[in-house]
Amino acid sequence: MPVVGIRQLARNASAIIHDVSETRRPTVVTDRGKPVGVIYPFDEEDLEDYILANAPEYVKRLEQADRDIAEGKTFSLAEGLSRLEAERATATSSRSDEARAG
């Protein structure tokens, strides 16, 4: 994996980014010899995955889901679909009631 110093990146950013894009190989960025970041090649799909995986709300929910699974707090697909159907029916009923009252 290529490594570039932060000063070299500052002077040659365009060429370095072009190289990452062309080779599809990440490049480690260092500051005084210590790694501080990575320039990673992305396409649009990769970017969406990265944003989702690093969005605080998404990460928090994913961690909670992992805890729930570990604790056995799960239910079947059939039960999940049943719950979803019940929620939709309740929401539809509430909107109908509001429309009649309005």
CATH number of the domain where residue 21 is located? 3.40.1620.10
Residue 22 domain boundaries? 1-41
Residue 102: pLDDT band by 50, 70, 90 thresholds? low
Q: What is the spatial distance between Cα 50 and Cα 27, in angstroms, rounded to a whole number? A: 17
Q: Answer whether residue 33 is part of any domain.
A: yes
Q: What is the spatial distance between Cα 10 and Cα 7, in angstroms, rounded to a whole number? A: 5
Whether the per-residue pLDDT at 40 is higher than 70: the answer is: yes
Q: How many domains is the chain built from?
A: 1
Please state the pTM of the whole predicted model: 0.52
Confidence (pLDDT) at 3: 97
Confidence (pLDDT) at 47: 83
Q: Answer whether residue 79 is part of any domain.
A: no
